[in-house]
């Protein structure tokens, strides 16, 4: 049991991953990405690793997930760990009987002797609650509207694969900036590593980025600009990060009003630079047309694959003192 979330301070060993604010310096990112590249080589070379042989990873997901869930699962397996996955947290576990998150976390720890728990939950502070209840490290796989740290890390990894120099980047984030957790984590992480960053926030009226996030970014010497029209800023954009309207937080009528506000397609992308990338944490609904998928600037498929490498690196670095 821990009473606080520790900053990484140069090492991931036995740390929780709850917020990108745990990163204190660029060196931590470099270390993580070096190991992610090592994992990539193992996966591409079809070599199973044994870093986590004898270890057990438990996944506890209270919200739907495809990418995050399967990539953590595959990451554990590819490192030689076993894994535990309750079938459906809401209906098949004692959550349905009213058990608290803290008790469920403690139960999973005892019954499975898991060495690490990956948690996705609709509440903003769920990961913190789990950390306070658990003996083993907790990785947040998305907490409410607040944080999705591992998504931000894989996003940054994808950006740094495309741009060797991150200074002066112009990043445009479009969509539901009010409710999306990925954009919060990503923009906070970007300010840590990109000097001279410009962040353009494009959203429908009423779905603007929260004021406290904008203040946080501006306090850290980032230029933040708000737009309603994507066309206006697209020609200058190096990274276009598209997000879904977060339907689950809307009434059906409210959702219909904003659905389809932005659609990135081949026609629109004629206005963009030749050397730029389009990203999306996915799932997409209608924000990126499939007619753009084969464009070399479409980075969202390799972005998903990078999730596997980054999550392998994180699991290994959290559970082992040395990863080679």
Q: Which residues bind ligand NCD (CB under 6 A)?
A: 67-68, 142, 148, 151, 181-182, 243-244, 281-282
> 313 vs 323, which CB is nearer to ligand NCD?
313
Which residue is listed with tokens 């479009």? 174
Q: How far is the CB of 188 from ligand NCD (least distance, A)?
A: 15
Q: How far apart are CA 318 and CA 8, in angstroms?
A: 10
Q: How far is the CB of 301 from ligand NCD (least distance, A)?
A: 13
DSSP state of 176: -
Q: How far is the CB of 111 from ligand NCD (least distance, A)?
A: 27
Residue 59 forms beta bridges with which residues?
A: 118
Torsion 224-151-38-238 (CA) sign: negative
Q: Does residue 313 contact residue 35 with C-beta atoms inside 8 Å? A: yes
* Cα dihedral 135→136→141→144 (10° resolution): 10
> 13 vs 69, which CB is nearer to ligand NCD?
69
Q: How far is the CB of 192 from ligand NCD (least distance, A)?
A: 20
Q: How far is the CB of 147 from ligand NCD (least distance, A)?
A: 10
> 10 vs 122, which CB is nearer to ligand NCD?
122
CA-atom Rg of the chain in angstroms: 19
> 151 vs 172, which CB is nearer to ligand NCD?
151
Q: Residue 161: which of 290, 305, 17, 272 has the closest Cα?
A: 305
CA distances in angstroms from 167 to 20, 164, 194, 229, listed in the order given = 19, 9, 5, 25
> 55 vs 262, which CB is nearer to ligand NCD?
262
């Amino acid at each position: 049991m821990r009473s606080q979330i520790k900053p990484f301070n140069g090492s991931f060993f036995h740390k929780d991953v709850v917020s990108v604010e745990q990163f204190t310096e660029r060196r931590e990112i470099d270390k993580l990405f070096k190991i992610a590249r090592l994992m990539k080589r193992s996966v591409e070379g079809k070599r199973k690793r044994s870093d986590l042989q004898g270890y057990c990873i438990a996944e506890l997901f209270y919200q739907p997930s495809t990418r995050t869930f399967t990539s953590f699962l595959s990451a554990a397996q590819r490192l030689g760990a076993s894994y535990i996955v309750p079938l459906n947290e809401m209906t098949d576990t004692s959550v349905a009987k009213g058990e608290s998150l803290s008790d469920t976390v403690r139960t999973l720890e005892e019954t499975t002797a898991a060495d690490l728990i990956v948690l996705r939950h609709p509440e903003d502070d769920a990961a913190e609650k789990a950390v306070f209840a658990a003996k083993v490290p907790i990785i947040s796989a998305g907490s409410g509207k607040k944080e999705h740290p591992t998504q931000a890390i894989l996003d940054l990894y994808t950006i740094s694969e495309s741009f060797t120099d991150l200074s002066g980047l112009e990043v445009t984030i479009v969509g539901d900036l009010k409710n999306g957790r990925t954009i919060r984590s990503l923009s906070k992480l970007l300010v840590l590593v990109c000097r001279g960053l410009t962040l353009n926030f494009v959203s429908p009226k009423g779905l603007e980025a929260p004021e406290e996030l904008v203040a946080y970014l501006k306090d850290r010497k980032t230029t933040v600009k708000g737009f309603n029209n994507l066309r206006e800023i697209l020609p200058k954009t190096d990274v276009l990060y598209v997000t879904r309207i977060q339907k689950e937080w809307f009434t059906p009528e409210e959702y219909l009003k904003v659905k389809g506000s932005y659609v990135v397609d081949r026609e629109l992308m004629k206005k963009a630079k030749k050397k730029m990338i389009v990203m999306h944490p996915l799932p997409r609904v209608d924000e990126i047309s499939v007619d753009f998928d084969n464009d070399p600037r479409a980075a969202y498929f390799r972005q998903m694959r990078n999730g596997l490498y980054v999550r392998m690196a994180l699991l290994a670095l959290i559970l082992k003192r040395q990863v080679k």
